[in-house]
Amino acid sequence: MSARKWTGALVCAAALAWGWLAATPAGFTQSAVASDETDFQGMPPGKGREETFYACVVCHSMRLVTQQGLSRDRWDEAIDWMVEEQDMPELEPADRALIVDYLAEFYGPDRKADTQSTQ
C-alpha cells in the first residue's frame, strides 16, 4: 500500500475513534481536525502550539519536528530552508515569530518537551 493511502487510513481511523469518545454528531472531516486539536501529537501546551502544528503537518508528520533539539537560530534557518527549497508557503511574520519561539522553547538543545509532552 502506498504511504499516502496508508497515512490517510490512519488519520481517518483516528478521527473515527475520537468521534466515538467525544460522542459528538460532528461530521467525519470535522472530527479529523478535532482529533488533531485534542492531542497535537504530544506537543506540550504553550503559546504558538496551534500555529506550529498547522504549519508543519501540511507536509510532514510532527514526529519530524518533535525529534529535534535546535536553537532558535537553527529553527529559523530550518524554516528558511523549507521556504526556499521545499515549497513551504511563506509565513506571516507574526506567525513565524510565534512558531520559532515555540519551537525554540520546547524543542531546543535541552529538548524540554521530552519531560513536558502531553503523551
Catalog residues that contact another protein under the rule CB under 8 A.
1-7, 9-10, 12-14, 16-17, 19-20, 23, 25, 27-28, 58-61, 63-64, 67-71, 74, 78, 81, 85-88, 109, 111
Sort 50 into a burial class: Cβ within 10 Å, 0-12 / 13-18 / 19+.
middle
Which residue's CB is nearer to another protein, number 43 or number 70? 70
- Residue 80 or 94: the one with the smaller Cβ distance to another protein is 80
Helix and strand counts by DSSP (H, E) for the chain = 7, 0
Residues 6+ apart with CB under 8 A from 7: 61
Shortest spacing between CB 90 and another protein, in angstroms: 13
